[in-house]
Amino acid sequence: MDVNALHHCFASTLDANPNIRREAELQLSDASRAPGFIGACLDIVQSQPLGTVQISAVVYLKNKVVKNWEYDDFNKSSAIPEAEKPGFRERLIPAIISASTQTRHHLISVLNKVIAYDYPEKWPQFLDHTLQLLHSQDVQHVYAGLVCLNEITKTYRWRNHEIRISLDRVLESAFPVALQIANSLLAENGPSAGDMMRLIMKSYRSAIWIELSPRLQDPSALLPWGTLLLQVVAKDIPAAALPEYEQDRELHPWWKSKKWAYRNLNRLFSRYGDPVSLTDSMQDYKEFSKTFVVNFAPEILKAYLHQTQLWVQNNLWLSRPALNCILEYFEQCVKTKTTWEILKQQVESLVSHVVFPLLCLTDDDIELFENEPVEYIHKRIDIFDESPTADIAATNFLVTLADRRRKSTFNTILSFINGVVVSQQQHVNDESYARKKEGALRMIGSLSHIILGKKSPVAGMMETFFVQYIFSDFQSQFGFLRVRACELINRFSDAEFKDVNNISFIYSSITACLNDKYLPVQVEAALALQPLARHESIRNSLSENIKATMEKLMQLTKQIDMDSLLGVMEDFVDMFSAQLAPFAVELAEQLRDQFLHMLGEIIEKQNVDPDNYDDGVEFSDLDEKAMAALGIVNTLGTLLLSLDNSPDIVARIEHAILPVISAVLENEQSDMYGEVFELIDSSSFCLKRITPSLWSLFGLLHRAFKTSAIDYFDELLPALENYIIYGAEEMKANPNYIAAMIDIVNTVFTSDERLGAIDRTDACRLVQTLLLNLRGAMDNCISYLVGLSLGRLRDETEALKNKAYLVSLIEITVNCMYYNPLLTFRVLEESSQTANFFNIWFSNMPSFSRVHDKKLSIMAIVGIITLPDEHIPESIRPGFPQLLHGLLQLLQTLPEALKRREELSKEFEGGDAGYYGGMDSLSTGDWDDEDEDGDLDDTQGNEYLEFLNKEAARMETKAKYDYDDEYEDEALEEEPLYESPLDKINVYIVFKNAFVALQQNASRSDFLSKELNDGERHVVESIVQQAQQDESVQAQQ
């Protein structure tokens, strides 16, 4: 490739003239698919002098490699040729060595992608290159070697067992060298030395993340590495070597190194070194943990305690990540006897001098509260950032102390909180005391589940506490105290207030705070309303003012994107549907407009050029808006379902929210597909018809499925079924609708790379819905459907181990037989498959265990045996007795299936929570659980994680073969919500009428008398008798 021409092309993409820039971008896109492109980009990156062209080229190169290094069938034209990769790999390390700081991190991202897919199989010599660099006397070469080591270990971070075998060579050859380099760096204070130490710390982190190699468990490695980690933690960095501002300090390489050292020490203890935390799958570390918890864990704890002591005395600055790690370690130490004996002596000091200060408002917090309320809300109320913070870690430590070592700590903690709160009563106008009270109230709020726990001795005191210390805060001059008062009402909503005047005061205070001048107060008040509605008096008051309350909530959701606020709205829509009915359409329109505004902002951010990802685009804000937008759609769905008895209003709401559905589909917002499909499902279900508005969406739904919604077929299925069930007449009148449905079915069955047996089972269900509801309109599809069913039954093996899929495939042809036996026999005879199909059907009849399975087969067999003789193929006449025996068996076993379905429906209506219903028991606050000073069982939460890991492994097998062998031999489970036209058919009456008709046919009557034994005749008599009773009941209705 012409490097000079490519250089000119990159330069033109930066031209001020938009026409030149657009033309260059098109040329660059074409060039990126040509041979030699990545090598030419690397030439430009390494050219001198460094300028904007080189920066543009390295960013483009990074994106090209990240997207296209791995071969992808869907982007064959963009794939990087295999022949170019070896040469590019050999040039990459020298390029990193010579790179400037502006281009190096991009090249490291390129290396990361290459290593992830090529090491060790396609690049086995990479480790040797790394070792050569590590042994070099040149600092730049050593730095590059540490970069390479970090990238190697990253590839093993999530790999376990046999896949990690090749890591042993890395640990054996490279880690001792890295340890020597690290020890030599300890005396340095400069940023370059700190950055090299950071790479070593991260390499160790990756190596120990999922498994701890026996080589690293050995004392000969554990002791020097552990010593290094503690030395990094304790390293005194002169103030002169650090930036002035705290945020800049946290970004200093040495403080990044400290952060990773803390995390490594924590990981060693929490995952491998604490016996009480080892799950069943981690018992291989039992002996290691016994040694670690006695010899190493206490030393780490002492080091951390020393760090916090210096911090409390203002003799040491600690970064927020460092404080977070220290507190996380303290929390782990609470549960283990060896470390608890040390920590126990420090609890009072740690609560008052470490935890409490971290939970109090800072000057920056006050500034945010007053000038940037949205940021304050996301930092203190609706915490969206999932990265660990010191205040959250302090809260977790406090809760663990109070919950797990309650006897030793709870009264101490409450006494401290009470002292702070009481002292503020004498200084109500002093902001410093108000801040302290706010921090103390944050502490008590975090302990609410313990204070209100079963048999709690202090739960009954909370009403008095609120009256004496909290109620006055609703009128406090400090807005942040009003916020905390609202939050505590939310936290203690389950507390019993015996004085109704106190409940009235709470409600009036919360409603007043809804109109506070500060946004955080309004938001916290809105969130508090949700649990307060459990009080009948408050619920009655809310119902009288629900329109104004909902308008206020709408106003708040326009000011800040918070899905929790939308959750309040959704609950109120459900709770006060009758009162909201007159305003429901207006509410839906407001929600629609707000959603479309949000969606516009989401789409605008999504359209940022990927090449500009490094320019600081805030994608966390994008996620936040997406969550809020989904909350609006969910609220609209709840609004529809809550008004299912008001079809006129539902129809108007449906028309109002049509732009929401079409905008999501047209802009391919796949993350919202499930929710908008549910809107269509809910609306059509409530109306029991397909309106012109919904028909206008059908073509868009079909197109969306073909392009971007194929992976959401399971969520789309209920909406498609409603189109068929409630729009049957329009379907019959418009063959294009049926053709689109069949095209969807065909797409599912031919997309083997993306969809599996579970999806194809859903497609079978869609076919059955078509055949059962569009009687007389499916003739042109029978040949295709029979061929599809028998072809898959012939060609698939592993997937047919999925019993639901097997039965569903068979039932396509069975349903065709019920739909039109003559036409179906003709198709089967033309392909000589009649006998084969009947053999498959009846050999799998024991698997037809659900009510629908049995009724469908009964109706199909009745249709066959009542055909005139001349229409019954010769190939099945010898098996006619089997048809009759099978029919009687199905009729005999139907009552038991009906009983099972009824029982399951009752369980479903009762809301059985199943396995996950008991997850709250992980932390109940139960005061019967008296703690001791010994080891505490800490495996419950870890066992749940282990359960998830096992489920993930099982689901991986399931995804690979698309069946679940754990349930292979179990009967198919009824679907209590599944409805079909067969539900309205009394098959006993159908059989009785058919049997009477057969008896009137001389040849059939003679056949029946010969083939039925006495037991079967008795079965027939009982069925006929049941049918007569059912007919009598129907006649009386």
Residue 600 in tokens: 């516009």
Mean pLDDT along residues 784-794: 95
Please answer whether residues 1013 and 880 qualify as being in contact, where contact means their C-beta atoms are separated by less than 8 angstroms. no
Higher local confidence (pLDDT), 931 or 13: 13
Taking alpha carbons only, the member of 785, 762, 802, 798 closest to residue 837 is 785
The string of pLDDT tens digits covering residues 205-239 is: 999 998 999 999 999 999 999 999 999 999 999 88
| pLDDT for 104 | 94
Find which of 69-73, 163-167, 860-864, 869-873 is predicted with most confidence, using mean pLDDT.
860-864
Taking alpha carbons only, the member of 325, 179, 309, 156 closest to residue 250 is 325
Please answer whether residues 664 and 599 qualify as being in contact, where contact means their C-beta atoms are separated by less than 8 angstroms. yes
| pLDDT for 968 | 44
Within 335-430, residue ranges assigned H as helices are 337-343, 347-350, 356-359, 363-371, 373-380, 390-404, 406-425
Whether residue 931 is predicted with pLDDT greater than 60 in this model: the reply is no
Please answer whether residues 760 and 748 qualify as being in contact, where contact means their C-beta atoms are separated by less than 8 angstroms. yes
Neighbour count for residue 189 (Cβ, 10 Å): 16
Whether residue 962 is predicted with pLDDT greater than 80 in this model: the reply is no
> Can you list the domains of the chain with their CATH numbers?
1-84 (no CATH), 296-451 (no CATH), 457-544 (1.25.10), 548-726 (no CATH)
Whether residue 947 is predicted with pLDDT greater than 60 in this model: the reply is no
Give dist(CA 485, CA 865) in Å, integer. 76
Whether residue 951 is predicted with pLDDT greater than 60 in this model: the reply is no
Give dist(CA 491, CA 488) in Å, integer. 5
Residue type, 774: L
Whether residue 420 is predicted with pLDDT greater than 80 in this model: the reply is yes
Report the first-to-last Cα separation within the chain, whole angstroms. Answer: 85
| pLDDT for 747 | 96
The confidence band for 871, taking pLDDT boundaries of 50, 70 and 90, is confident
| pLDDT for 621 | 59
The answer to which of 187-196, 670-679, 838-847, 968-977 has the lowest mean pLDDT is 968-977
Neighbour count for residue 871 (Cβ, 10 Å): 11
Q: Which sign, positive or negative, has the C-alpha torsion 33, 34, 39, 41? A: negative
Taking alpha carbons only, the member of 205, 251, 249 closest to residue 228 is 205
42 phi and psi, to 5 degrees?
-65, -35
The answer to which of 27-31, 227-231, 437-441 has the lowest mean pLDDT is 27-31
Whether residue 317 is predicted with pLDDT greater than 80 in this model: the reply is yes
Distances (CA, A) of 213 to 18, 127, 217, 272, 664: 56, 18, 6, 11, 49
| pLDDT for 651 | 95
Distances (CA, A) of 800 to 763, 795, 836, 954, 972: 15, 10, 17, 18, 14
The string of pLDDT tens digits covering residues 553-578 is: 999 998 998 889 999 999 999 999 99
DSSP string, 120-181: TTT-TTHHHHHHHHHT-S-HHHHHHHHHHHHHHHHTTTT--GGGGTTHHHHHHHTHHHHHHH
605 phi and psi, to 5 degrees?
-75, -35
Give dist(CA 496, CA 831) in Å, integer. 74
As a whole number, the mean pLDDT across the chain is 89
Give dist(CA 504, CA 507) in Å, integer. 5
- Provide the percentage of residues in the chain whose pLDDT is more than 90: 74
- Reduce the DSSP state of residue 765 to 3 states and report it: helix
The string of pLDDT tens digits covering residues 407-418 is: 999 999 999 999
Element (H, E) at 320: helix 320-334
Please answer whether residues 182 and 193 qualify as being in contact, where contact means their C-beta atoms are separated by less than 8 angstroms. no
| pLDDT for 797 | 79
Give dist(CA 321, CA 240) in Å, integer. 21
| pLDDT for 957 | 42
User: Which residues in 191-263 belong to E strands, given as ranges?
Assistant: none
DSSP state letter for 212: -
- Provide the percentage of residues in the chain whose pLDDT is more than 70: 91
Give dist(CA 57, CA 40) in Å, integer. 9
Scanning the structure block, which residue is given the tokens 């290459």? 114
The confidence band for 847, taking pLDDT boundaries of 50, 70 and 90, is very high
Residues 6+ apart with CB under 8 A from 906: none
Please answer whether residues 629 and 672 qualify as being in contact, where contact means their C-beta atoms are separated by less than 8 angstroms. yes
Residue type, 640: L
Long-range contacts of 721-724, Cβ-Cβ distance < 8 Å, separation of 24 or more: 721/765, 721/766, 721/769, 722/680, 722/681, 722/684, 722/685, 722/690, 723/684, 723/690, 723/694, 723/698, 724/766, 724/769, 724/770, 724/773, 724/774
| pLDDT for 327 | 97
The answer to which of 431-435, 458-462, 940-944 has the lowest mean pLDDT is 940-944
Please answer whether residues 242 and 252 qualify as being in contact, where contact means their C-beta atoms are separated by less than 8 angstroms. yes
Please answer whether residues 786 and 812 qualify as being in contact, where contact means their C-beta atoms are separated by less than 8 angstroms. yes
**Burial category of 321 from C-beta neighbours within 10 Å (exposed 0-12, middle 13-18, buried 19 and up):** buried
| pLDDT for 917 | 35
Give dist(CA 162, CA 183) in Å, integer. 32
CA angle 576–579–583, rounded 5-degree value = 110
Whether residue 606 is predicted with pLDDT greater than 60 in this model: the reply is yes
| pLDDT for 160 | 67
Whether residue 955 is predicted with pLDDT greater than 50 in this model: the reply is no
The string of pLDDT tens digits covering residues 264-306 is: 999 999 999 999 889 888 899 999 999 999 999 999 999 999 9
Whether residue 32 is predicted with pLDDT greater than 50 in this model: the reply is yes
| pLDDT for 285 | 93
Whether residue 722 is predicted with pLDDT greater than 80 in this model: the reply is yes
Give dist(CA 510, CA 487) in Å, integer. 10
| pLDDT for 56 | 94
Taking alpha carbons only, the member of 799, 881, 790 closest to residue 829 is 790
The answer to which of 382-396, 688-702, 917-931, 1022-1036 has the lowest mean pLDDT is 917-931
Give dist(CA 689, CA 67) in Å, integer. 46
Higher local confidence (pLDDT), 879 or 20: 20
Distances (CA, A) of 787 to 520, 544, 545: 63, 62, 61
Residue 456 in tokens: 């709690």
| pLDDT for 486 | 97
Residue 411 in tokens: 């009264």
The confidence band for 926, taking pLDDT boundaries of 50, 70 and 90, is low
Q: Across the chain, how many H-helices and E-strands are there?
A: 54, 0
Residue 579 in tokens: 């009162």
